[in-house]
Amino acid sequence: MRGVIAAGDPQTAVAGQQILQAGGNAVDAAVAAAFASFIAEIGVVHLGGSGIAHLYDPQNGRSLVYDFFSNTPGLNGTPPTSLDFQEVTIDFGATTQDFHLGRASVAVPGNIAGLCQMAADYGRLPLETLLQPALKLAKDGLPIAPFQAETCTLLQPLYTHTAGMRAIFMENGRMVQGGDHLFVPDLHATLQTLAREGAAYAQSGPLAQALLHDQAANGGLLTPDDLANYKVHKLDSIRLRYRNYDILLPPPSSTGGVLTAFTLKLLSHFDLQKRPHGSASHLQLLYEIMVATNRARNLWETAI
């Protein structure tokens, strides 16, 4: 099958390519690439994270959004007397950003549930096949890309918060650097079992139990009901006509789709052909519209 793959690391793209060559469809390739990214792009994405996926089914013309974003933890639970929760400020040079870390900062994960659901609904190949590229990366390790290493160094307080994380990211007292061979030993065993058992492994099986035990023992908020009641939401896209194009965007809980629609609605009132691309008038218009969108973002976030 022919396809185009965009990824944050070549190994992520290769995983998708391998699945296409094995007879998988676009959803198969996307799911395989996502699982591979949890090793190849470990500085920015993780198996225990969450996400949103936008699909288009050419057979019926339907555009569908899989929303498997995180939920707030603590459903039907009693907060521990002492929370493992800290705030750290990261200096990005031009700006700073506050992050929260510790067990009590952990939200209800959605990646495994969402990716497995996508594969079950629209995939052509079994989950075990889709996980093979990620399994190989987890078993053999890989040289960490300079960008990933720089991200880990920038976010060092987050990546060295526990002994287990220091064993991965700070071997021999030094943060990983570009070109270092990175191993995540426990992830291989986790992916092997996931390939056999599917999403239930993370929702009610041994992986869920291990996560809940760690949370309960170390001041976390995650509860059995958080995992058992987690749902992947399947939503219709926002459809927007912009000039001569049909634009498909994700609906809430994503704010990006709504704000992009807002931006395009503003742009539609201006004749861009009278403003040559890159000219002062063109850039001034884009600047003013971005400022207006940021104001709208603040109103949106306040409303929700």
The 10s digit of each residue's pLDDT in 54-99 is 999 888 889 999 999 999 999 999 999 999 999 999 999 999 999 9
Residues 148-161 as b or e (16 or more Cβ within 10 Å = b): bbbbbebbeebbbb
- Specify the pLDDT at position 3: 85
Distance CA 105, CA 101 (A): 5
**Residues 20-41, mean pLDDT to the nearest whole number:** 97
Please give the residue that has the higher pLDDT: either 300 or 206: 206
Q: At which residue do the structure tokens 């093979």 appear?
A: 132
Instruction: Name the DSSP letter for residue 171.
Output: G
**Residues 227-236, mean pLDDT to the nearest whole number:** 97
The pair of structure tokens assigned to 281 is 């008038």
Using alpha carbons, list the distances in angstroms from residue 99 to 109, 211, 254, 256, 296. 18, 21, 20, 21, 24
- Specify the pLDDT at position 172: 84
Percent of the chain clearing pLDDT 70 (strictly above): 98
The pair of structure tokens assigned to 243 is 């000039």
- Specify the pLDDT at position 302: 62
Distance CA 257, CA 244 (A): 19
Instruction: Name the DSSP letter for residue 108.
Output: B
**Cα Rg of the chain (Å, integer):** 21
**Residues 205-221, mean pLDDT to the nearest whole number:** 97
**Residues 131-138, mean pLDDT to the nearest whole number:** 97
Does 6 have pLDDT greater than 90?
yes
**Residues 193-200, mean pLDDT to the nearest whole number:** 97
Q: Phi and psi for 101 in degrees, rounded to 5?
A: -140, 170
Distant-in-sequence, close-in-space partners of 226: CB < 8 Å, separation ≥ 6: 71, 73, 74, 75, 77, 108
Does 300 have pLDDT greater than 80?
no
Percent of the chain clearing pLDDT 90 (strictly above): 85
Helices 10-21 & 132-140 angle (0-180, nearest 10): 140
The pair of structure tokens assigned to 91 is 């200096």
Coil, strand, or helix at residue 101?
Answer: strand
**Residues 102-125, mean pLDDT to the nearest whole number:** 97
Does 182 have pLDDT greater than 80?
yes
What are the E-state strand segments in 92-192? 96-101, 142-143, 181-182
Does 304 have pLDDT greater than 60?
no
Q: What is the largest CA-CA distance in the chain?
A: 64
Domain boundaries, the chain: 10-234, 238-303
Nearest to 171 by CA among 155, 179, 183, 154: 183
Environment class of residue 269 by beta-carbon count within 10 Å: exposed (0-12), middle (13-18) or buried (19+)? exposed
pLDDT averaged over every residue in the chain: 94
